[in-house]
Structure 1
Amino acid sequence: MEIRKLIAPALAVVLLAAVGAGVWYSNTRLHDESATATAARIEQEKQVTLRGLIGSEKETFFADPRVQKALAAQGITVTVEKAGSRAIASRYDASKFDFGFPSGAPAAAQLKTLAKAPNVFNPFYTPIVLASWRPIAEILVSNGIAQKQGDFYYVVDLPGLMAMIEKGTRWKELKASSAFSTSKSMLINSTDVRTSNSAAMYLALASYLANSQQIVQSQEDVDRVMPVVAPLFLRQGFQEQSSAGPFEDYLALGMGKAPLLVAYESQMVEFWLKNPDRLKSDMVLLYPKPTVYSKHVLVPYTPGGARLGAALENDPTLRELAHEYGYRTGGDTKGPETWAARGVKVPEVLVDVIDPPSFEWLERMTTGIEARFK
C-alpha cells in the first residue's frame, strides 16, 4: 500500500512531464514552420518579374545572361518589348508594363509626366556620332570639315558640313575626292525620324544649327527651321525604323551605301570590343561639333520598375556590363578609360554638347516632317 502511494505521484510527475514536453515540441515545431513560411514569403516578395518597353539598341543588353544573372541576384527578372522612343512615349500603360526605357531625354520627360513618376533613373548615355570610313574622313579633312585626332576623327565644323549638304554639293565636287568620286549628293543617312530616337537627335542638332545655334523652343522657331531640316530626311528615301538596321547595313555594305551615318557611339564601341580585329579596318567615328547626348532614361510605372532603375544606376556589376555594350555611365569608371585599355580610344570628355528641344517642340517638328512624307 505504501509503495502504491509512492508510485502514484511519481507516475503523475512523469505524465505531466511527458505532456509538457509534447506541448513544448509541438509549439517549437509550429514556431519553426511559421518562421520558415515567413522567410519564404519575404523571399518571394523580394522576387519581382517586370515587363518593360525599351529602345531596340538595348535588347541585346537585357538578353545577356550576365545581365540577367546580376539582376536575379537582386530578385529581379525582366522581359522586354522593343519600340521606338516616340512610340514608347505614347504607349504608357501601367497595367501592362512596369517601366518605359526610351533612348532620349525628351521622350522620357513626356513619359514621366504621363506616368506621374516622382523619380526617373539615368543608368547610361551615349553621344550621337557619324559612323564613317577612313577615305571619307580624309576627304573631309582635305576640305577643312574634319580634323584628325589620333586614330579617330572629330567633325570640327558641323555647320560647314550642313551648309554643303543644304547646297546639294556632290562628293566628286570636293577636293581630293578620288576615293569617293561619285555623283551622289552629300547627305547624312539616318533612321526614320517618325519612329527613331537617333534620327530625333539628328533633328535636334540640325534644328539647332538652322535656328542660329539656338535650341528650338517656339512655334516661330519651328516655322523658321522646317524648310531647312525637312529635306534632310525627305531626300534620304527609305529609312529604317530603328538604329540596328542601318548600322548592320553600314557594316555589311560599306561606304557606298552610307558614307555618313547617324549612329550612337555605343554601337561602334560595342562592335569594336566584340571584334577587336576590326580596329585596324577603315571604320572611323566622326564626332559632330556640336553633338548631343542620347540619354537612356528609365521611367518607372511601378515600385518594381523603380527597383530595376536603381539597380541599373547603382550596381557596379551592371555598370561594367553596360560598358561592354559601349555605354558611358556614372560612377568612378565611366567607360572610355576601360575601352582604351582594350584599344578602343574615344574622347573621355565631350565639351561642345547641346541639349535637345523639349518633347513638345521636337514633336511639332517631327509631325511637320511626317506631314511632308505623305
Structure 2
Amino acid sequence: MTGRRALALGLAALLLVGVGGGIWYSRTSLVQSQQVQLAQQQAVTARGLIGSEKEAFFQDERVREVLASHGVTVTVQKAGSRSIAGSYDPEQYDFGFPSGAPAAVQLKAAAKAANVYTPFYTPIVFASWKPIADILIANGIARKLGDFYYVTDMPGLMTLAGNGTRWRDLKQSGAFATGKAVLPASTDVRSSNSAAMYLALASYVANSQQVVQSQEDVDRVMPVVAPLFLRQGFQESSSAAPFEDYLALGMGKAPLLVAYESQLVEFWLRHPQRRNSEMLILYPQPTLYSKHVLVPYTPAGERVGQLLESDPQLRVLAQEFGFRTGGDTHGPELWAGKGVPAPAQLVDVIEPPSQEWLERMIVGIEQRFK
C-alpha cells in the first residue's frame, strides 16, 4: 500500500468517525432536549403537609433543582404527624408526608391512595453525652460495642424512670451527681411523631416485649408508659426545638433526649468541628424506625413520591440530611466517608403498634394531662 493510499484511507476513516460522532451527538442532544421539553410540558406544582424534620430538605436549593429538572416544584407546610393523619384535604394539598408509618396508614385510608412511598427512614435514638453514657454503663444499663453506644437494658432504664431515681443515686455518678430524675426527655406525644415512636417503644417493653395489639394490652401498659410523659413538664410540639436546646444548653438540660438519628448525623455532617465533642448517640435495644411515608392525594403528589423514592440524586441528598434510604447505598457508607460513623445495620428492631392502638394510648395520656 502506497503512502498516498494509506493517507486517503486514514482520512476517510476520520471522516466516518466524525460523521458518526456528529450524528450521535445530534441524536443525544435531541433526546435530551425532548426530555427537557417533555418535563416542562408536564410541569406541576405540588403542595405537601410534612413533618418539621423534613423542612430543611425541601428548602435545600439542590433538592429544588433536581425536582425542577423533572418539571416539579414543591411547596410545603409543617405539621405534626398526628395532625397530618387527621388533615386529609385534597383541595389544599397534593400529598401528606408524616414521619411515622402508623399515621401514614390512617392517611392512606382517608385518601384511598393506591400507592404510598417510603423514600427514607431513621431510627429512634437517645441524644446524649459521654459522661451520661459512662454512668449508664457503670450501672448495667448501656454498653459500648465497637465505636457505638447502646442502651442494652431498656426495661432497666424504664424502671429507673418509673421509680423516680435521681442521677446522683446511681453508681459512679460523680460527673452528673444531680437531683435530676433519670427520665428521657421527649416532645409532646399529643402532637409529635418522635414522642409517639418513643411511646411505641416503651409500650413494647412494658408489654413483656410484645407489640400492643388489644385493649387489654393498652390497659396493662398505661400505668407504666403514661408517667414517662406526664412527669416531664412542658414539652415542645416538634423535634426541632428540644434538639436546639440539647445543642445549646448541654447535658444539664438534656442528659437523655429522645431524638432521630438523622438529627445528630446531619448536625455532625454540617459541623465537623463538633464531631470530637462529648455528644453521642445511644441506640436503644430494641429500637424502631421512624418511616417517612409519602401519601399522594393527586397525580402531582404521585410524581413527588416517585421521584423521592427512585431518583439517585435525591437519595444522596436525603442521606446528607442524615436519613437512611433505599438503593445501593443506604447512608452510613456516605457518612463514614465524611467522618461520621453509624451502624450499618440495626438488628434489634421492632414495629410500632397499628394506628388504632397507638392512638388509644395517646388519647389515654392526653386525658391524664387534663
Structure 1 partner of 2:351? 355
Structure 2 partner of 1:125? 121
- Match for residue 214 of structure 2 among 203, 214, 218: 218
Structure 2 partner of 1:367? 363
Tell me by how many angstroms 1:153 deviates.
1.0
Structure 1 partner of 2:4? none
Structure 2 partner of 1:93? 89
Determine the C-alpha separation between the residues in 1 that align with 2:103 and 2:171. 41
Determine the C-alpha separation between the residues in 2 that align with 1:309 and 1:124. 11
User: Any residues of structure 2 matched to 1:144-223 within 5 Å, and which?
Assistant: 144-223=140-219
**Unaligned runs of at least 5 residues, structure 1:** 1-37
Larger deviation, residues 313-322 vs 166-175: 166-175
CA 1:161–1:43 in 2, change beyond 3 Å: closer, same or farther?
Answer: closer
Structure 2 partner of 1:5? none
CA 1:280–1:40 in 2, change beyond 3 Å: closer, same or farther?
Answer: closer
- The number of aligned residues is 337
DSSP-derived class of the 1:154 partner: strand
Residue type at the aligned position of 2:294: L
Residue type at the aligned position of 1:363: E
CA 1:47–1:285 in 2, change beyond 3 Å: closer, same or farther?
Answer: same
DSSP-derived class of the 1:280 partner: coil
- Match for residue 135 of structure 2 among 133, 139, 142: 139
- Match for residue 110 of structure 2 among 114, 136, 140: 114
DSSP-derived class of the 2:275 partner: helix
Structure 2 partner of 1:262? 258
Determine the C-alpha separation between the residues in 1 that align with 2:131 and 2:39. 58
Structure 2 partner of 1:279? 275
User: Percent of aligned pairs with the same residue?
Assistant: 71
1:118-154 deviations in Å (ceiling 9; x for gaps): 1100100000000000000000111111111344311
Tell me by how many angstroms 1:43 deviates.
5.3
1:36-60 deviations in Å (ceiling 9; x for gaps): xx99996554100010100000000
Q: TM-score of the superposition, structure 2-length normalised?
A: 0.89
DSSP-derived class of the 1:188 partner: coil
Q: Find runs of 4+ consecutive structure 1 residues off by over 3 angstroms.
A: 38-45
- Match for residue 304 of structure 2 among 308, 311, 320: 308
Residue type at the aligned position of 2:189: V
Tell me by how many angstroms 1:61 deviates.
0.2
Determine the C-alpha separation between the residues in 1 that align with 2:83 and 2:192. 9
Q: TM-score of the superposition, structure 1-length normalised?
A: 0.88
Determine the C-alpha separation between the residues in 2 that align with 1:219 and 1:162. 22
**Unaligned runs of at least 5 residues, structure 2:** 1-33
1:323-369 deviations in Å (ceiling 9; x for gaps): 10000000001000110111111110001011000001000000110
Answering whether residue 330 of structure 2 is matched by residue 334 of structure 1, we say yes
Answering whether residue 225 of structure 2 is matched by residue 229 of structure 1, we say yes
DSSP-derived class of the 2:254 partner: coil
Determine the C-alpha separation between the residues in 1 that align with 2:144 and 2:322. 22
Determine the C-alpha separation between the residues in 2 that align with 1:333 and 1:44. 31
Residue type at the aligned position of 2:324: R
Tell me by how many angstroms 1:166 deviates.
1.2
Contact 2:185 2:232 in 1 (8 A): yes
Determine the C-alpha separation between the residues in 2 that align with 1:300 and 1:136. 43
CA 1:223–1:320 in 2, change beyond 3 Å: closer, same or farther?
Answer: same
Determine the C-alpha separation between the residues in 2 that align with 1:39 and 1:130. 46
Higher-Rg structure is: 1
